[in-house]
Every structure is written in C-alpha cells, then in structure tokens.
Amino acid sequence: MFLGGRRQANKWAKECLQTGLALILSYVILSHTNFLHHAKTTVQDVYDSHVTSTSGRKQFVILLAGSRTGSNFLAQLFNQNPNFLYINEPFSVRHLLDLREYERIPEADERSTLDELQIFWLRQVLDRCDTGDMPMHPELERFGKCGLEGENLLRFGHKHCNETFNENARSELCVMRNTVVMKISRLLQLNWFNYIKDDFVGHDFKIIHLLRDPRDVIASRFRFKHYYYKDRFPITHTVNMEHKVSLAAEEWCLRELDTLMFAERSPPSWLQNNYRMIRFEELVSNPKAIARELYDFIGYETIPETVQTWLKHHGGNKLDMLEPAMEYPADRWNGTMTAAVEYECKPLIIKMGLKFQELDIQYSQSYY
C-alpha cells in the first residue's frame, strides 16, 4: 500500500511537471505571437496616431540632382537627421527592376517601362508610404532601419532596435516620420511631376534642385567610369572624345535649363513656393549657411546636433564617393573640351551668371 501511494505521488508529480512545462511553453508561444502581432500591426497603429496628431499631412522632400553634381554632399544634410527618412536614389534601374520582379509595385506588370515604374513607385509612397522595402544603399541611409529610442519603443516594445523585424523597415519609418527625403538623380525634367500632381494633395511637397557649373559636371563625368562615355562610343582618338563631350553637354544643359525655365515661368500651383534651386559651389563654400537656408525652406527651426556634428567634421569636404573609380587623369581635360561644353551650354552658363573661359562671349545678365 505504501508502495502504491509512492507510485501515485510520482505519477501526480510527473503530471504536474508536464502541465507546468506545457503552461510555460504556451506562455512563451503566446508572448512571441503577441510580439509578432505587435511588430506587424504597429505600422497601422502608428499610422492611425500619426493621422490623428498631424491631420494626415506628411512632408516629402525631393532632392533633384544629376550625377556628378555633388548630390551626396547635399543628401547628408538630411541623411544625418534622425527625424527624417532618407531614401537614396530610388529610381536606380536595378532597384526599379527588382521591385517589379518581386511584385512590390502592385500597379506594375512585366510590360511596365522604367518611366511607368517611377510613376507607380512614387505614387504608392505618397499614397500609403509603401516603399516596396527592397534593399538599396543601406550604407548611405544612416537612419534607414532604426531610429531613436522613442521610435524603437513604438515599433519593438523596447528602446533597442530589433534587427529581426526589418523587412518592412523603410515603410514603417515612412509612416512614423513626418518628413521623407528622396534623392532622385534619374529624372529628365522637372515637369515629369505633372504626371502625379494629384497625389500631392494633402502633403507638403518640396523640391530642392541642385545645380553645378556644367563644365565641372561634364569634366567629372568624363574622368570617371560612366557608361555614358565608356560604352556608347568607342574611345579611339581626341575627335571622338570631343564629340562625346559635346553630346553629353548638350543633353545635360538642355535638361537643366528646361527645369529652371519650368520653375520660373508660370510654374503650376503645386510648384509655387515649393521649389528651391541651390548652387553646388555655394553649398561647399558655405555649407552651414546653406543648411540653415534649406531647413528654413522645409519649415524646420532647428538643425539637429547630428547634422551639425557632421558639418563640423565634413563640411569642408566635397564627399566624392567615386574617387577610387577614377579612370582618366585630370590633365586629359583640356581647353578644347571646355570650349565644347561652353558652346553647347551657352544659355545655361548665361542663366547661371558664370563667365566663359574659352569662348569669347560677352553678354548681359538680363539676357535670360
């Protein structure tokens, strides 16, 4: 009888232990499930609170700049701000094709052109902060995955960034941050935005146009590995070089001049008071003053410490990301090529108030 009682007690203890382990396991599973649920629904929760607190008005800032104009330097004035979501060159061909391949742009299909993909992507970002969340340039987007402690607390339930739940990081942060900054360098003309002007309604939409001396732009493109000069024409002798320089200068200067004219002569309502042109030369010579001007333009009274620290350490550098890729030495650029650029870019050079170096041209500032 005593032995039977021990067996019964052992059986009861074993059942209790199994029940306890089951309860503990259930608690762990439920806790994990609740955390996953929190991570997946926090975007909607934050979006609802964002709409309530800001009446749904979000600010989108477009940095419009061609290649080799110093756009990386300009971008850092916004990328170093933890309150902004900075997206680096979303219109790159590889990024758009990846978005189409993995069906991250619902409006697109296999027949969609690059121009259509640009429109579809920007429209879904403006409408619902759906960025597609494909990896682009994480090394160039400082706060592109996680933000400050308060933001992490909303997203993950604690102050530290949880790297496990980053598949939708960019879309989440787009919802949570009031200002989204996008550097776009693959647009032909400013009037392209007319295609999506209706999507600007309800948003604060700003465009910052970076312009640089066309002689420096074309010379920089000439010196670096770039498909435009390397693949389109065979490099055999100087005549071919000058021909390529002329073609590149004509295309780039016509586009920039058209953008300036579009912004100044009877701009559409969505562009009025929402466009600002800055010169690269002024940016690198006085970056703190330009930063203050641009933050005033987008409506921010203070420049955060992170941006000021970056300016203190890097404000005197041009931040040339392609220096290791140099293909042609600087001395290959000569007066004849400068003259070719000046000839093709006469209207733009006059509009910018620059002096001609090789061509003997006298003009009045009121010419344009």
Q: Which residues contact 291 (CB under 8 A, 6 or more apart)?
A: 77, 303, 307, 311
Rounded-to-integer distance, Cα 69 and Cα 227, Å: 17
Q: How far is CA 250 from the centre of its chain?
A: 27
The two tokens of residue 3 are: 């032995």
The whole-number average pLDDT for the span 257-284 is 92
Top mean pLDDT of 31-45, 241-255, 330-344, 352-366 is at: 241-255
Closest among 252, 259, 124, 254 to 191, alpha carbons compared: 259
Q: Which amino acid is at 189?
A: Q
Q: Let me know if residue 362 belongs to a domain.
A: yes
The whole-number average pLDDT for the span 334-340 is 84
CB 70 within 8 A of CB 317: no
Q: What is the pLDDT of residues 49-78, one digit of tens each?
A: 444 444 457 999 999 998 888 898 999 999
200-222 burial, b for 16+ CB within 10 Å, e for fewer? beebebbbbbbbbbbbebbbbbb
The C-alpha angle 233, 234, 237, rounded to 5 degrees, equals 115
Residue range of the domain that includes 251: 58-83+179-368
Q: Let me know if residue 34 belongs to a domain.
A: no
Q: Let me know if residue 90 belongs to a domain.
A: no
Tell me the pLDDT band of 259, cut-offs 50, 70 and 90.
Answer: very high
Q: Let me know if residue 8 belongs to a domain.
A: no
The full DSSP string for 133-149 is -----GGG-TTSS---H
CATH number, domain at 304? 3.40.50.300
Query: Mean pLDDT for the chain?
Result: 77
Q: Let me know if residue 52 belongs to a domain.
A: no
Q: Let me know if residue 139 belongs to a domain.
A: no
Q: Let me know if residue 21 belongs to a domain.
A: no
β strands within the chain, DSSP E: 59-64, 84-88, 179-184, 204-211, 275-279
pLDDT at position 146, please? 73
Taking the CB of residue 321, how many other CB atoms lie within 10 A of it?
12
Tell me the pLDDT band of 121, cut-offs 50, 70 and 90.
Answer: very high
Q: Which amino acid is at 246?
A: S
Rounded-to-integer distance, Cα 2 and Cα 286, Å: 93
Instruction: At 3, give phi and psi (nearest 5°).
Output: -65, -40
Q: What is the pLDDT of residues 153-199, one digit of tens each?
A: 777 777 777 665 555 678 888 988 999 999 998 776 788 898 888 88
CB 88 within 8 A of CB 171: no
Q: Let me know if residue 324 belongs to a domain.
A: yes
Closest among 274, 79, 104 to 177, alpha carbons compared: 79
How many domains does the chain fold into? 1
pLDDT at position 195, please? 85
Please state at what angle helix 214-223 crosses helix 335-344, rounded to 10 degrees: 130
Cα–Cα separations (whole angstroms), residue 311 to 62, 81, 249, 284: 21, 12, 32, 11
pTM of structure: 0.77
